[in-house]
Amino acid sequence: MLTGRRIVLGVSGGVAAYKAAYLARRLMEAGAKVRCVLTDAATEFVGAQTFAAITGEYPVVGFFDEADVSPHTTLGQWADAMIIAPATAATMAKLASGLSDNVLIGTALAAEAPLVVAPAMHTEMWSKPATQRNIAEIVADGAIVVGPAVGPLAGGDVGQGRMVEPEAIVAAVAAALTRELDGWRVLVTAGGTREAIDPVRYIGNRSSGKMGNAIAVEAASRGADVVLVTSAPPPAMAGVSVISVETAQEMAEATWAQAGDCDVAVMAAAVADFRPKNPEAAKLRRNEGLPAIDLEPTPDVLAGVAAMEPRPFLVGFAAETGSLDGALRKATSKDIDLLVGNDVAKTGSGFATDTNEVTVYTPDGSAETWPLLTKREVASRLWDRIIASYDRG
Catalytic positions: 205
Q: Is the dihedral of CA 275, 281, 283, 289 positive or negative?
A: negative
In angstroms, the CA 287 to CA 192 distance is: 30
Residues belonging to the chain: 393
In angstroms, the CA 222 to CA 288 distance is: 55
DSSP character for 60? B
**Spatial CA neighbour of 78 closest among 28, 12, 5:** 5
In angstroms, the CA 371 to CA 384 distance is: 16
In angstroms, the CA 14 to CA 231 distance is: 37
In angstroms, the CA 97 to CA 127 distance is: 19
In this structure, are strands 355-356 and 373-374 parallel, antiparallel, or unpaired? antiparallel
In angstroms, the CA 214 to CA 206 distance is: 17
User: Is the preceding omega at residue 119 within 30 degrees of 0, hence cis?
Assistant: no
In angstroms, the CA 75 to CA 104 distance is: 10
Judge residue 290's burial from the number of C-beta atoms within 10 Å of its C-beta, 0-12 exposed, 13-18 middle, 19 or more buried.
exposed
